Amino acid sequence: MLTRIDHVGIACHDLEEKIAFYESTFGLIVASREVNEEQGVKEAMLHVADGPAGSSYVQLLEPLHPDTPVGKFLAKRGEGVHHVGYGVDDVTAALEAIGAKGVRLLDERPRHGSMGASIAFLHPKDVGGVLTELVQARRLEH
Ligand code: MC0
């Protein structure tokens, strides 16, 4: 069901500062930057590698307001890994299969994610303390 690690989401206070750190320390390149009002974040995807099932990224996340998922996370735990995003071929089918196993779905239906993806989150308390995101990448036109 899971096809790859799509991205690791990292919460930070200052997006520009962290982008500069990942660029200068690891030589990563920014693939996209977006503001996602619905999710309450300003974020950047830095490309890590390409594999047979698609690409993987580091996602840097700065909250738009303190009262957002990432804002609350930063206040409680400080900067660090916020979630892991796994690639799936069909996020609706994956949600149905995972929900049937008793894992709480934070999204009953997919929402808009970075780079045109369809995404959905699973409750961290049901996944061993890890906020888990399912990512169906946007289909590229050929
Ligand atoms: C909260 N908890 C976490 C956590 N956030 N555990 C692991 N990883 C996280 N990121 C834990 C808290 O420590 C707490 O445990 C319990 O969950 C309840 O947390 P809370 O602080 O009271 O906050 P809630 O319940 O209001 O919300 C937590 C929840 C929420 C995970 C349900 O943040 C959520 O719905 N997240 C999904 C959406 C999201 O994160 N969006 C931002 C990224 P204790 O033991 O202290 O009770 S958007 C994104 O990434 C998009 C743009 C993309 O990838 O394309």
Distance 142 CA to ligand 1 centre (A): 37
In a domain, 7, yes or no: yes
CATH number at residue 130: 3.10.180.10
In a domain, 24, yes or no: yes
Q: Which residues line ligand 1 (CB under 6 A)?
A: 9, 36, 39, 41, 43, 59, 61, 69-70, 72-73, 76, 82-83, 85, 106, 113-114, 119, 121, 124, 129, 131, 133
Q: What is the pLDDT of residue 139?
A: 77
From CA 140, how far away is CA 124, in angstroms rounded? Answer: 31
Looking at 15-109, list the stretches that DSSP marks H as alpha helix, in order from N- to C-terminal side: 15-26, 69-77, 91-99
The residue whose two tokens read 């996209």 is: 32
From CA 67, how far away is CA 84, in angstroms rounded? Answer: 21
Give the number of domains in the chain: 1
Q: What is the pLDDT of residue 62?
A: 98
In a domain, 96, yes or no: yes
Of 97, 90, 141, the C-alpha closest to 119 is 90
From CA 33, how far away is CA 137, in angstroms rounded? Answer: 16
In a domain, 109, yes or no: yes
Domain that holds residue 23: 2-136
In a domain, 142, yes or no: no
List the residue whose alpha carbon is closest to atom 37 of ligand 1: 121
In a domain, 55, yes or no: yes
Q: What is the pLDDT along the chain (142 residues), one digit of tens a residue?
A: 999 999 999 999 999 999 999 999 999 999 999 999 999 999 999 999 999 999 999 999 999 999 999 999 999 999 999 999 999 999 999 999 999 999 999 999 999 999 999 999 999 999 999 999 999 999 765 5
Distance 120 CA to ligand 1 centre (A): 13
